[in-house]
Amino acid sequence: MDAQTIIARRVAQELHTGDLVNLGIGIPTLAANYVPPDLKVFFQSENGLIGTGPIPEQGMAHPLLTDAGGRPISALPGASIFDSAMSFGLIRGGHVDVTVLGGLQVDAQGHLANWMIPGKMVPGMGGAMDLVGGAKRVIVAMQHAAKGKSKIVAKCALPLTSTRPVNLVVTEMAVIAFPEGIATLLETAPGVSIGEVLAVTEAELDIPDTVREMKI
Amino acid sequence: MRAVSVEEAVAMIPAGASIMVGGFMGVGTPKRLLDEVVRQQKAGLSIISNDAAVPGKGVGRLFDAALVSRLTASHIGLNPKAQQQMLANQIVVDLIPQGTLVERIRAGGCGLGGVLTPTGVGTSVAEGKRQIEVDGTPFLLETALRAQFALVHAFLADYLGNLSYALTARNFNPIMAMAADTVIVTAEHIVPVGVIAPDHVVTPAPLVDYLITNG
Q: CB distance B27–A63 less than 8 Å?
A: yes
For residue A121, pLDDT over 90 is answered with no
Q: How many angstroms away from the CA of B17 is the closest CA of chain A?
A: 24
Q: What are phi and psi of B95, to 5 degrees?
A: -95, 125
For residue A16, pLDDT over 90 is answered with yes
A46, A21 contact by CB (below 8 A):
no
Which residues of chain A neighbour B169 with C-beta distances below 8 Å?
Answer: 64
Q: Does A47 touch chain B (CB under 8 A)?
A: yes
Q: What is the pLDDT of residue B96?
A: 97
Best probe of the A interface among B123, B156, B172, B203, by most A CBs < 10 A, is B123
What is d(CA A75, CA A64) in angstroms, rounded to the nearest whole number? 12
CATH superfamily of A3-213: Glutaconate Coenzyme A-transferase (3.40.1080.10)
Which residues of chain B neighbour A46 with C-beta distances below 8 Å?
Answer: 98
| DSSP assignment letter at A180 | G
Q: What is the pLDDT of residue B122?
A: 97
Q: What are phi and psi of A43, to 5 degrees?
A: -95, 130
Query: Which residues are CB-neighbours of A73 under 8 A, at least 6 positions away?
Result: A45, A49, A52, A53, A54, A55, A56, A65, A66, A67
Q: CB distance A92–B119 less than 8 Å?
A: yes
CATH classification of the domain holding B75: 3.40.1080.10
* Nearest residue, CB atoms, B168 vs list A47, A92, A127: A47
| DSSP assignment letter at A56 | P
Which residues of chain B neighbour A56 with C-beta distances below 8 Å?
Answer: none
Confidence of residue A122 (pLDDT cuts 50, 70, 90): confident
* Nearest residue, CB atoms, A159 vs list B26, B50, B123: B123
A128, A23 contact by CB (below 8 A):
no
Q: How many angstroms away from the CA of A15 is the closest CA of chain B?
A: 24
Q: Hey, what amino acid is at B59? A: V
Compute the mean pLDDT over every residue in chain B, rounded to the nearest whole number.
Answer: 97
Q: How many angstroms away from the CA of B152 is the closest CA of chain A?
A: 13
Confidence of residue A91 (pLDDT cuts 50, 70, 90): very high
A16-26 mean pLDDT? 94
Q: CB distance A83–B175 less than 8 Å?
A: yes
Q: What are phi and psi of B85, to 5 degrees?
A: -65, -30
For residue B180, pLDDT over 90 is answered with yes
Q: What is the pLDDT of residue A104?
A: 96
For residue B52, pLDDT over 90 is answered with yes
Closest CA to B215 of B196, B182, B174, B187: B187
Q: What is the pLDDT of residue A178?
A: 97
H or E segment and range at residue A198: helix A194-199
A185-214 mean pLDDT? 97
* Nearest residue, CB atoms, A160 vs list B51, B102, B123: B123
The domain containing residue B177 runs over which residues? 2-212
Q: What is the pLDDT of residue B19?
A: 98
| DSSP assignment letter at A206 | B
What is d(CA B94, CA B86) in angstroms, rounded to the nearest whole number? 10
Confidence of residue B157 (pLDDT cuts 50, 70, 90): very high
Q: Which residues pair with B185 in a beta bridge?
A: B152, B211
Q: How many angstroms away from the CA of B11 is the closest CA of chain A?
A: 28
Confidence of residue A37 (pLDDT cuts 50, 70, 90): confident
Q: Hey, what amino acid is at B107? A: A
Confidence of residue B214 (pLDDT cuts 50, 70, 90): very high
Tell me: the pLDDT tens digits for B88-123? 999 999 999 999 999 999 999 999 999 999 999 999
Burial class of residue B32, CB neighbours in 10 A (0-12, 13-18, 19+): middle
Q: Is A46 a catalytic residue?
A: yes
Give the residue on B whose Cα is nearest the Cα of A71. Answer: B25
Tell me: the pLDDT tens digits for A125-181? 999 999 999 999 999 999 999 999 999 999 999 999 999 999 999 999 999 999 999
| Contact map slice: A 76-95 vs B, CB within 8 A | 81-85, 87-89, 91-92
* Count of structural domains within chain B: 1
Burial class of residue A110, CB neighbours in 10 A (0-12, 13-18, 19+): buried
Q: Which of A46, A57, A187, A196 is catalytic?
A: A46
Q: What is the pLDDT of residue B215?
A: 79
What is d(CA A113, CA A156) in angstroms, rounded to the nearest whole number? 7
**pTM here?**
0.96
Tell me: the pLDDT tens digits for B182-192? 999 999 999 99
Provide the percentage of residues in chain B whose pLDDT is more than 90.
99
Query: Which residues are CB-neighbours of B104 under 8 A, at least 6 positions away?
Result: B96, B114, B115, B142, B143, B144, B145
